[in-house]
Amino acid sequence: MPFEVRKVEIKSVSDASGLAELIDDGVFAADEVVAVIGKTEGNGGVNDFTRILSDQAFRGVLLDKGTRSEEQVKQIPMAWSGGCDGVITPHATVFAQVGDDKGVDTDDKRLAVGIAMSEVLLPEDIGRPAMVEKVAEGVKRAMAEAGIVDVADVHYVQTKTPLLVQDTIADAHARGQTVYTEDTLFSMDISNGTTGLGIAYALGEIDRVPEPEEIGTNHDLYSSVASCSSGVELDRAQIVVVGNAPGARSRYRVGHSEMKDAIDQDGIWEAIRVSGLELPERPHHTDLADRLVNVFLKCEADPRGTLRGRRQLSLDDSDVHHHRQLKGAVGGVTAATIGDPAVFVSVAALHQGPLGGGPVAAITRAD
């Protein structure tokens, strides 16, 4: 069955009216929604409650307008990335598997989505090979569900995983276990990075499970399609695999590339080209002709403290965390590139894309 993909603006901290309107307009039914990926307006940190508010609002609409049980709606992956620093607009991208009558006849591979939940991730798993293996197993199941056979057809893997908080750290200690770090904010980076390695291992981007001492330190190991977020609202990995599959009959395609650094607009354009959209040599956002649904990026302050040979200061700033600075900067670059501030830009890109850069995926309308 084909997939429908739509982007809706979040107009207030607990707004889900855009989702409700799409359902009311018959774009898709509430019971057809399979995943949501969005940006919320909080601080993006460990205690960012706006992720929970958006999660409750969107699940509430699906309960009110559909027939699935509360337990079934709870299983729908919703990856919320907090923090809309700079010009980023809060928004959500909704994926729905729609009726066959809404598909198109084509021999081309078209967008397909597969979802999975990993095994429970214990506090002591985070940042360690056990988490890599559990995530990899879930990615393979999601890929199979999407009907994607060739790993080269996977262009975007969005995950949401647990990070460490005081309660889970105490739980591990009570059971005689240790944790990777007791810095809860740093555990966000580590959770994301370890998940990125799990994705890379599942898709053959790396050929082995990294050694414990390589996790968080060996920057040559990374995934070019991973977009990993973490939070306090779950205890396992929610996995959404997006790729192009034969027979999917969707009206959309997805492509990916890499931003080599924080201002690499060419990486964004290349992802759009890979999705199948023809562009001039020097493209402008007006060339998109309303065919771009959204772009999804991960970014990170370059630990070398430079950008194209110029000195950078975000890692030395004691007033504003470098996560927020880079998110705002890359969000501005991305918004200017595609002409739309409703872009999915997420930080903590450890093991996701090259050092100082990050993966970028683009979903476009194929017809």
Tell me, rounded to whole angstroms, the distance of Cα 39 from its chain centroid.
Answer: 10
Strand order in the sheet with 252-259: 252-259, 358-365, 292-298, 344-346
Ranges of H-type helices in the chain: 17-24, 50-65, 70-74, 129-145, 166-174, 184-202, 265-274, 322-338
What CA–CA distances, in Å, run from 60 to 57, 244, 314? 5, 30, 39
Name the token pair of 237. 């990995």
Kindly compute the dihedral angle of the four CA atoms of residues 216, 221, 224, 227, in this order, to the nearest 10 degrees: -20
Catalytic center residues: 160, 229
At residue 281's C-alpha, the angle toward residues 279 and 285, to 5°, is 50
Residue 328 · residue 85 · CB < 8 Å: yes
Amino acid letter, residue 213: E
Q: What is the rounded distance in angstroms from the CA atom of residue 84 to the CA atom of residue 358?
A: 18
Q: 């009110």: which residue's tokens?
A: 64
How far, in Å, are 48, 114, 225, 230, 319 from residue 140 at the CA level?
30, 10, 14, 20, 41
